[in-house]
């Protein structure tokens, strides 16, 4: 591919991920400020941004990113991070990445979001989208929802229905590159804790190695981000005024343990970040701030 064209695509993708980060951060800070004082107290949180840089396995400069975390009254812990990294894959990692077998150089940019809420009635959410370039190039990502109370972890819950509808709409707007049924099933299978024989949450969509028409794949990836930006604040508002009991908080903390187990045992993003010398604080910021194993 023409070098100028691929550089232009990299710049467009990076700029989108950064703009989406800013829009999501603004929306989340608004929710943080609006949450009922009677349940959450008065001191609203704000995002704190920390730049970081990395070197690749040869010691050469390899890009970096910005860790962006808010620890507030409604959002117990939320991270909305953007990174743009490049360099060479370490030898032991090259065979696992398409296009890196013969040429280990790579470039990758993406956004990663995870929100853990104080209120057990408000579901946790995860979203990430990315653009990766080796000798090939592709988009990947998705979004999924994790209710923390067992009675809300059904496919018939209103939050579940609304979240699936939002993700389906994002896919249906791009039928040539985003078959909803395939991506929904992929999510169900990916976010599955094999050792417990259970799903992490209620699902969503997941896709990877999307090498279709670039403009179409990029447009779909943008709509995944827009869908999350629209639906999740709506779900937060539906639930954030609901009081909770100590028993519900306990159930929330135990369920969070499943989140930790998945991210450390199975999550591709965690493995990719750690094996490419990413920022450990950003990578592990997906971990909930308080968790219990009974």
**Residue 236 CB coordination number (10 Å):** 25
What is the tally of helices (H) and strands (E) in the chain?
A: 9, 9
8 A C-beta contact, residue 136 and residue 99: yes
CA dihedral 154, 158, 164, 168 (to 10 degrees): 150
8 A C-beta contact, residue 273 and residue 57: no
8 A C-beta contact, residue 10 and residue 133: yes
Residues 6 or more apart in contact with residue 192 via CB below 8 angstroms: 198, 199, 200
d(CA 158, CA 167) in angstroms, rounded, equals: 14
R_g of the chain computed on alpha carbons: 19
Q: What does the buried/exposed string (b/e) look like for 75-85 if buried means 16 or more CB atoms within 10 Å of the residue's CB? A: bbbbbbbbbbb
Residues taking part in catalysis:
126
Report the first-to-last Cα separation within the chain, whole angstroms.
54
């Amino acid at each position: 591919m023409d070098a100028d064209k691929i550089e232009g695509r990299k710049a467009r993708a990076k700029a989108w991920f950064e703009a989406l980060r800013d829009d999501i951060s603004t929306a989340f800070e608004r929710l943080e400020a609006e949450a009922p004082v009677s349940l959450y107290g008065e001191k609203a949180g704000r995002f704190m941004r920390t730049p970081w840089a990395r070197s690749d396995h040869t010691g050469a400069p390899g890009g970096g990113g910005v860790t962006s975390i808010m620890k507030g009254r409604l959002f117990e812990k939320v991270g909305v991070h953007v990174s743009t990294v490049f360099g060479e894959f370490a030898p032991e990692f090259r065979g696992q990445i398409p296009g890196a077998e013969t040429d280990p150089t790579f470039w990758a940019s993406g956004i990663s979001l995870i929100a853990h809420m104080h209120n057990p009635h408000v579901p946790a959410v995860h979203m990430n989208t990315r653009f990766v370039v080796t000798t090939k190039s592709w988009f990947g990502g998705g979004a999924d929802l994790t209710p923390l109370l067992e009675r809300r972890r059904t496919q018939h819950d209103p939050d579940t229905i609304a979240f699936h509808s939002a993700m389906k709409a994002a896919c249906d707007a791009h039928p040539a590159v985003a078959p909803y049924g395939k991506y929904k099933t992929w999510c169900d299978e990916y976010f599955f804790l094999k050792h417990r024989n259970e799903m992490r949450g209620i699902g969503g969509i997941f896709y990877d190695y999307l090498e279709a028409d670039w403009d179409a794949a990029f447009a779909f990836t943008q709509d995944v981000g827009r869908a999350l930006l629209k639906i999740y604040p709506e779900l937060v508002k539906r639930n954030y005024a609901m009081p909770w009991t100590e028993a519900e908080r306990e159930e929330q903390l135990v369920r969070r343990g499943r989140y930790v187990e998945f991210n450390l045992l199975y999550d591709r993003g965690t493995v990719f970040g750690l094996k490419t010398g990413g920022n450990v604080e950003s990578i592990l910021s997906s971990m909930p701030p308080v968790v219990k194993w009974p």
